Amino acid sequence: MWRALVFIGLLCVAAFAAVWLADRPGTVLVTFGGYEMQTSVAVAAVALAGLGLALAVLWAVVTAVLQLPSRLTFASRARRRARGYQAVSRGMVAVGAGDPIAARRYAGEAERLLGREALTLLLKAQAAQVSGNRQAAEAAFTQMMEEDETRVLGLRGLFVEARRRGDVPAAHEYAAEAVRLAPAATWASDAVLESRCAERNWRGALEAVERRTSLGLLDKATAKRHRAVLLTADALDRVEHDREGALNSALDALKLAPTLIPAAALAGQILSQRGDLRRAAKTVETAWRSQPHPDLAEVYLNLRPGDSALDRLKRAETLMKLSGGTPEGRLAVARAALEAREFDRARDALEPLLADRPTMRVCLLMSDLEQAEHGSTGRGREWLARATRARRDPAWIADGIVSDRWAPISPVTGRLDAFVWEAPPDVLVGPEIALSDDVTADLDDTVKMLPIAPEADGGSVPEWTLAHETPVPEREPPPALSTQEPGKDDAPAPRPEPVVFPATPPDVPRPKEEAAPARRSAFSIW
């Protein structure tokens, strides 16, 4: 609309100028080289405009001729770059499809057409990874290190390759350098935190958590929880040689996470040993109200050394009242009553737990109760046999590892605060190894198992067991199972053995004694 109005206005101006010149006659005389030309003003104006237009056309033709070589070169380069980026696109598709031959072909074509650009080097590295050529992949990532814009990407690739070949120190160096260059790089900060936890450098790990929180990589609630876990880990490491420092670390952890069970149990134990029974009881009771746990019950029942079994029974009843009759509270009362030889009280505590499918601990307590009250009877052996097939009690679980002790990091992935208190699944979990060459994910081997973590005393561990067939704690079972009515003495039966696989798969890592972090990381790479 506006363009049409402007065009009409210009036409009006031109018409007005032509009329104005026509109404004012005059002559224009030009003398040049002995010649003399005379014409009207209107004709002279038209001639002058035509001359200007001719000069403009001539200048455009000359400029186009002079710029023709550069235009041809630019067009050739544009076509070359278009073909190069098309090769990059097709190479990425080939990598995603897992076609190493096409990926290498397109990577070579892209490098020939585009040179050493970032996308070309990345495609070259990914094609080498898909093909299993680790040396070529490392060479491509090393080339990325030479350019500022791709240096962090090169460090990430070298970090991945270093972890693949098991060179943990080199991987940590690459991650530390990446954190220095790009502090907000999540993978690098995660790797630095993982390495410090693996070295049991809990104070250094705390600094890493603080830095990640300041950069906005962690929310406040997660940061508080991580700090509490790291302080608890520091307290557990110092408890043998620096009990005062261990107590301070545990109390600091409880300020951040008042319901953290390992910190509460350790603080309660140290406080009771120092004679501060009131504070120890309050610490344990606070954590117990949130989540009843056998470790808390053990500390609470033994707050004062030398107490009688009846005193411990009274404390157990206090715990059951605080928890509202939860299974852990009833188990604590039953164990304390059994030690005090209050058999009726133990039966009353266990009776609600027998209505539904009882767990292994309930069955073992019933077996102990029958044997303590009636001696070696068929009913006691019956409960002992039922324990081998009973539901498993809650335990510390992290990434498929079942342990009787809490640890600050996962023994499989090195992930911080991985252990949770829950019942293992009652299913058979066989070895499932996920090997992948997908460059968009972490290429370390993933094992989905339910191995039983080693005991604290360094005892042997079964190869791979059924999740619901955990070996029963050592006791003195009868050698044969009775076939007559419960309650009558009969010949003992052998204890059922857990189902065990004949051998561990060759490539599956076995759980280690102290639940040390394995090589694999939980952090995604690409």
Same domain, 383 and 413: no
Question: What are 447's strand-pairing partners?
Answer: 433
Run of H or E including 402: strand 401-403
Contact status, residue 234 vs residue 251, Cβ threshold 8 Å = no
Same domain, 302 and 234: yes
Tokens of 69: 């070589």
Same domain, 458 and 348: no
Same domain, 370 and 408: no
pLDDT number for residue 453 = 40
- Does a structural domain hold residue 199? yes
- Does a structural domain hold residue 356? yes
- Does a structural domain hold residue 519? yes
Same domain, 290 and 433: no
What are the backbone dihedrals phi and psi of residue 493, each rounded to the nearest 5 degrees, phi first? -120, 155
Q: Of 417, 423, 511, which is closest to residue 462 (Cα–Cα)?
A: 511
Q: How many domains does the chain have?
A: 2
Residue with tokens 């992935």: 413
Q: For 31-150, where are the alpha helices, taking DSSP H only?
A: 41-97, 100-114, 118-131, 134-144
pLDDT number for residue 427 = 55
Residue with tokens 């120190």: 169
Residues in the chain: 526
Q: Residue 194 belongs to a domain with what CATH number?
A: 1.25.40
pLDDT tens, per residue, the chain with 526 residues: 788 888 888 889 888 877 777 777 777 777 877 787 877 777 777 788 888 889 899 898 888 888 888 777 777 778 888 888 888 888 889 888 888 888 888 888 888 888 778 888 888 888 888 888 888 888 888 888 888 888 898 999 999 999 888 888 899 999 999 999 988 888 999 999 999 999 999 999 999 999 999 988 889 999 999 999 999 999 999 999 999 999 999 999 999 999 899 999 999 999 999 889 999 999 999 999 999 999 999 999 998 888 899 999 999 999 999 988 899 999 999 999 999 999 999 999 999 999 888 999 999 999 999 999 888 778 889 999 999 888 899 999 998 899 889 999 999 888 899 999 998 876 544 444 333 333 333 333 333 333 334 333 333 333 333 333 334 444 444 333 333 333 434 434 443 333 333 333 333 333 333 333 333 333 333 3
pLDDT number for residue 226 = 95
- Does a structural domain hold residue 287? yes
- Does a structural domain hold residue 292? yes
Burial of 364 (0-12, 13-18, 19+ CB in 10 A): buried
Based on C-alpha coordinates, what's the Rg of the chain? 40
pTM score: 0.66
Given 364, 387, 410, the domain boundary residue is 387
Same domain, 172 and 289: yes
Run of H or E including 396: strand 395-398
Given 387, 415, 444, the domain boundary residue is 387
- Does a structural domain hold residue 245? yes
Given 343, 366, 387, the domain boundary residue is 387
Same domain, 370 and 434: no
Same domain, 362 and 401: no
Same domain, 424 and 345: no
Domain range for 452: 395-526
Same domain, 338 and 219: yes
Same domain, 236 and 253: yes
- Does a structural domain hold residue 26? no
How far are the Cα atoms of 5, 8, 10, 12, 80 from residue 1, in angstroms, in the given order? 6, 11, 15, 17, 42
Same domain, 298 and 154: yes
Does residue 44 sit in helix, strand or coil? helix
- Does a structural domain hold residue 36? no
Residue with tokens 């000359």: 62
